[in-house]
Amino acid sequence: MFIGRLLTCPKSSTIHLQRILSVRSVLQPRRLVKFAVGTTLLTGAGFLSYTVYESGSEWEKIRRTSYFWSHMIPVYIHYRYQQFYFKLFPAKTPEEEDQVWLNLHNKYCDYVLNVVLHQRGVYIKLGQIASTRPDIIPKPYLKKFAQLQDGVPPQSGEYAKQMIEQAFGKPLEDIFSEFNPNAVGAATIGQAHEARLKRSNKEVIVKIQYPEVRRLFELDFSTLKKFVRLAQPEHLPLFDEFEKAFQIEFDFRREAKALDVIGRNIMPRFPNVVIPRPIPDMATEFVLVMEKLDGTKLIDALKAEQAKMAAAQGKTLEEFEQEMMAKYLSGELYRQAKTKYTPSAFVVNVYASLIHTINRLKNVYIYIYNHLMIPLFKQKPMEYIEQRVVINPHEILDLLNEVHAQEILLDGIFNGDPHPGNIFLLKNGKIGLIDFGQVQELSLSHRLKLAKLIVLLAEGTKEEIIEHYISMGVRTRHMNRYVIEKLARLGFDRDDPEICEGKNAQIFFEQLGKLDEVIQLPEGYLMAARVGMLLRGLGTWLQLPHSTAQKWAPVAKQLLNTYKDTNEQSFTSAL
């Protein structure tokens, strides 16, 4: 009967029905919203039931899990919908498609940031990592996530006081002659305060851990892994390694030991690097007191320099950054780095010395003027010129790569979190390194395998790289040799448009996973790969894209030459 009525209905009604049933109509935003709401309710109910089953009656766990799913599933659906829509109905021009994606990013960047800030903990740590990769993360998210480097809302000063007094068993006034109740920084697992020791009058930084972070860590990672399994399953092996790496960050006594050991390893060899020393007998599980470094975060100094460069070209900082990113994504920045002349570290140092000398002479004149002319003519005194540190991009990048290659390959103990917020440009021109919570140790056997991979990536053939990476433990579903070689490159060499074949590194990695699913990455090397990734991200900020393998190869060869007469079986038996 229904079919009969349909066939005999007026033509206008038939056209209206066809419009309703068309794919393009089904995919309209209004219908999508209805679909998303219904799907979210069903999905939220399902995951809530699953969480109750897994977590028991602990309501805080239920609340955190349900909050995440109920807020992120609609975002995920909207992005997947748009991706599917463009497959069916491609945009007329690439610019039109880019504008649609930009509108979507602008719509959700604040929303996702609020979810991260609400959940804190692991979510903030992953946001910090994302904020260092302008070549992977869309610009609206990048700008929002940048505040996670040091702009996380802290707990109150009273909270900090209670934690300190509980840790050391005495009133705050008996420990510090001065204590700033306002946190100077807050991030993943805690916050930091400036203080002055009562017994020595020494300026220090006091790190305070949030006790609830450790308790919720396992749950949060479980939730995130479920989401990754749904949204981007190719990233699951990475998340397994991240979970192991983050578990070591919760005991500040371990960080105090790492500061001491790595400081003694590095500072004698690199006089331009400063690692704060922990104050003896002032490290507990939740509170750590260390030396204070006097300087500016490198990322802040870089932004100030970029603002000056933008102004000199008659552009805003945002326009300048956008232009540099477009060059990076197109591969032009990498090609320019190979061919275009940029001042060497020596030239920049000569320039910096000349500027400092000129400023000193100006200050001598100002001193004479203020002390001789002012009393006679009663004029307003002149202000002295403050000596600023000249940023030397080549020197900074080379130094950071050499220091971390030394830590990873020669010393076997390294800091796995050198993001720009943890690197300081000190007033004396030196580089300060802070936050040694994520420190990992590598056995000699692991270091020799990694050193060989680094040298092969810098100088070897594709077949040599593939065979060695397989021997290190990489496993994919079909053992596709093209995928294996690219995984090695992305981990320890480069992730620029040349390696990623003109694609965004994130999209390229997803495509590799679809071509051949990653089952297992070499165990124990993720944190070392992360160090290289973070330093390459810094290279992008400095407009000096580089190869991790090329930067680390000299240190890798040094290690291999030291043990060239000893085979791997001897190492295994010795261990």
pLDDT tens sequence across 200-255: 999 999 999 887 777 777 778 888 888 888 877 777 777 776 777 677 778 899 99
Q: Quick one: pLDDT at residue 53? A: 42
Q: Quick one: pLDDT at residue 339? A: 58
pTM for the model: 0.72
> Cα(311)–Cα(317) distance, rounded to whole angstroms?
8
> Cα(188)–Cα(123) distance, rounded to whole angstroms?
8
Question: Helix (H, G, I), strand (E, B), or coil: what is residue 101?
Answer: helix
Residues 359-397: pLDDT tens digits? Answer: 667 777 677 777 777 666 667 777 777 666 666 788 889
Q: At 152, phi and psi to the nearest 5? A: -75, 135
Contacts of 99 (CB under 8 A, 6+ apart): none
Answer yes or no: are the C-beta atoms of 176 and 196 closer than 8 Å.
yes
Residues 8-29: pLDDT tens digits? Answer: 344 443 434 333 333 443 344 4
Q: Give CATH for domain 157-215+249-292.
A: 3.30.200.20
> Cα(282)–Cα(171) distance, rounded to whole angstroms?
14
Q: Quick one: pLDDT at residue 317? A: 78
Q: What is the dihedral of CA 187, 54, 236, 551, to 10 degrees?
A: 30
Listed by start position, the domains of the chain span: 54-149, 157-215+249-292, 298-377, 394-426+438-568
Identify residue 361 by its one-letter amino acid code: L
Residue 314 pLDDT grade (very low, low, confident, very high; cuts 50, 70, 90): confident
Q: Quick one: pLDDT at residue 5? A: 36
Identify residue 155 by its one-letter amino acid code: Q
Least confident of 361-375, 444-458, 549-563: 361-375
Q: Quick one: pLDDT at residue 251? A: 86
Least confident of 269-278, 306-315, 355-364, 557-566: 355-364
Q: Quick one: pLDDT at residue 145? A: 85
Name the DSSP letter for residue 272.
T
Cβ atoms within 10 Å, residue 467: 14
Counting residues of the chain whose pLDDT is more than 90, the rounded percentage is: 37
Helix (H) or strand (E) holding 11: helix 11-21
Q: Is the pLDDT of residue 550 over 90?
A: yes
> Cα(165)–Cα(532) distance, rounded to whole angstroms?
39
